[in-house]
Amino acid sequence: MVVSLKDIAARAGVSLSTVSNVVNGYRPVGEETRVRVQSAIDELGYAPNLSARHLRLGRTGIIALAIPELDNPYFAELAGAAIREATSQGYTLVMEDTAGSYEHELSMIDNSRRQIVDGLIFSPVAVSREDVLARPPATPMVLIGEGVYDVPHDHIAIDNIAASHVAVQHLVSLDRYRIAFIGAQAGDHRQSAHLRLRGYREALAGAGLPWDPALAAPTTAFGRADGLMAMRDLLARTQPPDAVFAYNDLVAIGAMRAVAEAGLRIPEDVAVIGIDDIEEGRFSNPTLTTISPDKEHIGRLAVQSLVARIEGKPVEPPYDVQPPFRLVTRESTLGGQRPVRT
C-alpha cells in the first residue's frame, strides 16, 4: 500500500505540516518530535509523491535531453554522463531523439513538450539561429554541440576551429599534402560543419598548403554511410587525397571502410583522423586517431548549468563554455609504430 504524509502524521501523533517540515526542513522542528516522526517514516517506508509535490511547486523535476541520434555513440556516451549528473542533482532526465529532423527539432523548442519539463538540453543540427530566436522558451534551455551560436542561452561546445587546427596540423606533421575534409554541408543553416571546415581551411593556409575545393566533400548527414560514400568519391578522383580529416568519428570510420574496400592502406596511402573519440575507434582496424572532447565534462556541465537556471541561482548572462579536448593518436595516422589503445 502507498503511504502518505497523513499516515506518518497519524502514526507519530503530530500534524501533517510537522511531518512535511521534518521531510524537507522548511521550518525547524523540535528534536524530540523530529526523531518520533523520523522513525515513523522509516517504519512505514514513506516516500513523497512526486506528482503532488510538483503540482504544488509548479515544477516537475524532469529535464529533457534532445539529441539528433541516440545510436550515435558520441551522444550515447554523453547521455550517460548527463543522466548520472541529473540523478545526483535530484532530477530525472528523459531523452528525446530528434533524428536530426527539422520538424522534430522545432517541436522541441516550441512550447508543446514544455508542460512536462523544467528545462531542456538541446543539441540542434537542423534548426537555425533565427528559429531559436523566434521561439523564446518557457523554461530554461542549454545548448550543446555546434549547432547554433549567438542566442540568449547557455552554450557548451568545444572550440571547433581550434580542434580542427590541431587535427589538420597533425596530418601536416606527417607530411601529408593533399588533405581532404569530409562533412562539408551544403545547407546554409547548419553551422556545425561550417566551423570545422573553416578551421580546416585556416590550418591549411597556416601550413602553406593550397585550398582545393574538390577536397572538401559534402555529406547529407554525419553517419558511417555518409563517410563511406564521400570517401569513395574522393578516391575516384584523378588526384586522390593522401589524408582525410572527417567531421566526426562515425564519418571517419565510414571513410576507412571505403579505403579498405578500394584496396588501399591506412595510413600509408591515406591517413584518417576524426573527432569525438568514440570507443569504436579504439577497436577498429586500424584504430582511429581522433580529437577527444571531454564528454563526461560536457554532460555534467550541461546539467549543472541547466539546473542552476531552473533554480534561479545566479542571474548571470548566458555564457559560452568551451570544454577541453586533446589529440589522441592511433594507427590510422601513425600506423603500427604506436601503442594501440589509449
Partner DNA sequence: ATCGGGCTCTATAACGTTATACAGGCGACT
Partner DNA sequence: AGTCGCCTGTATAACGTTATAGAGCCCGAT
In angstroms, the Cα distances linking 321 to 156, 159, 198, 324 are 5, 9, 20, 10
Q: Is 217 in the site for a second copy (CB under 8 A)?
A: no
Sign of the CA dihedral running 84, 86, 92, 93: negative
DSSP 179-220: EEEEEE--STT-HHHHHHHHHHHHHHHHTTPPP-GGGEEE-S
Going by the DSSP 8-state scheme, the letter that residue 335 receives in this structure is G
Choose among a second copy, DNA, none what residue 83 binds, the Cβ cut-off being 5 to 8 Å by kind.
a second copy
Tell the smallest beta-carbon distance from residue 105 to a second copy (Å): 15
Q: Are 305 and 266 in contact (CB under 8 A)?
A: no
CB of 140 to DNA, least distance (A): 19
> Choosing among DNA, a second copy, none, which partner's interface includes residue 254 (Cβ < 5 to 8 Å by kind)?
a second copy
Distance of alpha carbon 174 from alpha carbon 182, whole angstroms: 19
The answer to the question of residue 186 lying near DNA (CB under 7 A) is no
> Which of a second copy, DNA, none does residue 116 bind (CB under 5 to 8 Å by kind)?
a second copy
Pairing of strands 62-67, 154-156: unpaired
Kindly identify the residues of this chain, within the stretch 267-296, that bind a second copy according to CB under 8 A.
Answer: 279-280, 282-285
In one-letter notation, the amino acid at residue 71 is D
Binding to a second copy, residues 22-81 (CB under 8 A): 45, 47-52, 54-55, 60, 62, 70-71, 73, 76-77, 79-80
Q: The cell 594507427 sits on which residue? A: 331
162 HSE (CA, 13 A, CB side): 11
Q: Residue 284 binds which one of DNA, a second copy, none, with CB within 5 to 8 A depending on kind?
A: a second copy
Residues found near DNA in the complex (CB under 7 A): 2, 4-6, 14-18, 20-21, 23-24, 26-30, 32-34, 46, 48-49, 52-53, 55-58
Site residues, a second copy (CB under 8 A)? 45, 47-52, 54-55, 60, 62, 70-71, 73, 76-77, 79-80, 83-84, 92-97, 111-112, 115-116, 224-225, 228, 253-254, 256-257, 260-261, 279-280, 282-285, 340
